[in-house]
Chains A and B, each alone.
Chain A
């Protein structure tokens, strides 16, 4: 029994050792990034940008985030573990900025600069915030929607959630822009699908059933946009303009195939890159602006392969 137990223990530790990245330079600056998520392509693209900066500037970067964006407490545990490693600086995308403040204060007391990314932290602790201007970006989506449906008709929104900053900003950015510039466009429904493709599909089908004369739908993040596409496909609806957000292979394919009119892309790669770059600058005592825009752009079938656009899209 003892032997078997030792064997089991040995196996698990073997796994740990194999997966530990050996040979990290001991003296290099260490910067952990605590993100809002991990497995979505968007966050993987942020990670790719961070890794790119790490290689370029010769620093060590790790990247972690909870399984879902609701797990505020798990994110706190990750932040606590990151602090225990005495990092040079920390990159942090807060799920709930209030909940994080005690730990961020701890970082501040230890002289560890915090760079906020993706969404801001309601506090003066972060030295800067690297983020997309979601209000302006969603406003641009509204302009494109108006242009594509000829400035009149019914549109609907499928949004990922009504509690997160990005969900609120993208919804409000779109709704406000329609409200102030396009009096003939009516927003008939705003539904929330948790960014879940299947749930967003069902929502879209329900909206299409309720409003057969719908002209367009805006999906406010990757999962929502894919759901909208699925819903339209499953009901066999024709002629509804779909505008998405972010990229990912399915959205890119849909845009190439003409099923989706186009989408707003943030620059997740740029976000990861700028976060690490700002963290290094902060460690070196350089002055930083209050916010650093990581950028956004409209893309459709006409410019999807432009090098400048292709560089910020992810699969």
Chain B
């Protein structure tokens, strides 16, 4: 685990037991890994571990974006379809316009940040409840993805290096025995950066403060709305990264995809111990949460558990994780 963390220090009012929840989540992850390794000889193979990490990369990035918004006490239902829309944006820039790859990357992230800016403005300035505002954005972006792409997948065949963005392996070039896909590296680097932003910058401090007591932030003369818009825009930009990862992995921008991905992201955030009430959470927890979800799903598949039961078990784990968190909190409080 690479993501640095523990959001201690700057805000004394933050519960000191945040580390405990992460230990709990981390322990669950280890237990799961051990269980599946014993259950099937095929589980702990390099190829399969890489497949798990690859499967985590997109949901992990989306979950990082969702974490930011959830810490402010909001919710972002549009992360999945925003990812799709930024993927389509990359497709338009690279395939329709034929521009070089950096333009596609910048275009996707900028489009993500712009859409996040709009969501943030709806929430912070127009005072539309986040659930409603982002639900609307979710549908708008789903529709726009179909409109802009002409309802067809956009392929990146004119940009042969594009798939390597996610599926290539720079680390594998340096250390041939460690072919970790770039998408996974991007996830972990992004997690570290955002973790740093949350814990060491003013933006991060206001993110927690807005979630704990928005009124107090406002009354202390801070431009609360402005900071909130900035946080939503940052989350949107992160969704742009997810859009790049998924489209480069599929070598295509799939315009119909994305609905339902917000729920996977929120589940990862919640398993990782971030409170839906806001004011409390960490990126490390979210990454562990995302890993738990993909380890669980992959392990159940490797064990040939029937698909209907896979869904049941995933649901049970989410409830168990949140219940364990509540127990811990009632003890702490």
Contact = CB atoms under 8 A, between A and B. Distances in A.
B304 A163 contact: no
Contact of A96 (B31, B254, B303): B254
A292 to B, nearest CB: 25
B324 A4 contact: yes
Contacts of A15: 309, 312-313, 316
A71 interface: yes
Contact of B155 (A62, A81, A98): A98
Interface in A43-97: 60, 62-65, 67-73, 76-78, 80-86, 96
A163 B153 contact: yes
B257 A72 contact: yes
Interface stretch (B7-15, B205-213, B225-233, B293-301): B293-301
A23 to B, nearest CB: 12
A19 B312 CA distance: 10
Contacts of B302: 81, 84-85
**Which DSSP category, helix, strand, loop or mixed, fits chain B's interface?**
helix
A12 B300 CA distance: 12
A65 B306 CA distance: 11
Interface in A226-242: none
B324 A80 contact: no
B246 to A, nearest CB: 6
B280 interface: no
Output the residue of B54, B254, B307 with the most chain A CB within 10 A: B307
B124 interface: no
B323 to A, nearest CB: 7
A143 interface: no
A82 B254 CA distance: 23
A202 to B, nearest CB: 15
Contacts of B300: 16
Nearest to B56: A77
Contacts of A13: 35
Contacts of B297: 77
A64 B31 CA distance: 25
A143 to B, nearest CB: 28
Interface residues of A, number: 44
Contact of B316 (A4, A12, A78, A84): A12
A161 B256 contact: yes
B132 interface: no
B159 interface: no
A11 interface: yes
B309 A71 contact: no
B305 A8 contact: no
A64 B305 CA distance: 10
A96 B250 contact: yes
Interface string A11-36: 11101100111001000000000000
B298 A77 contact: yes
Given A8-B324, A20-B303, A67-B260, A84 B252 contact: no
A83 B24 CA distance: 32
Interface string B291-333: 0001001101111111101001100110010011001100100
Nearest to A19: B309
B152 interface: yes
B257 A73 contact: yes
A173 to B, nearest CB: 19
B304 A62 contact: yes
A80 B309 contact: no
Nearest to A47: B307
Nearest to A24: B304
A163 B151 contact: yes
A9 B51 contact: no
A163 B43 CA distance: 35
Contact of A98 (B151, B252, B294, B312): B252
18 contacts: A8-B320, A11-B320, A13-B35, A15-B313, A21-B306, A38-B307, A64-B307, A70-B256, A73-B246, A73-B249, A77-B51, A77-B55, A77-B297, A81-B298, A81-B301, A84-B45, A99-B249, A162-B151
Interface of A: 1, 4-5, 8-9, 11-13, 15-16, 19-21, 24, 38, 60, 62-65, 67-73, 76-78, 80-86, 96, 98-99, 102, 161-163
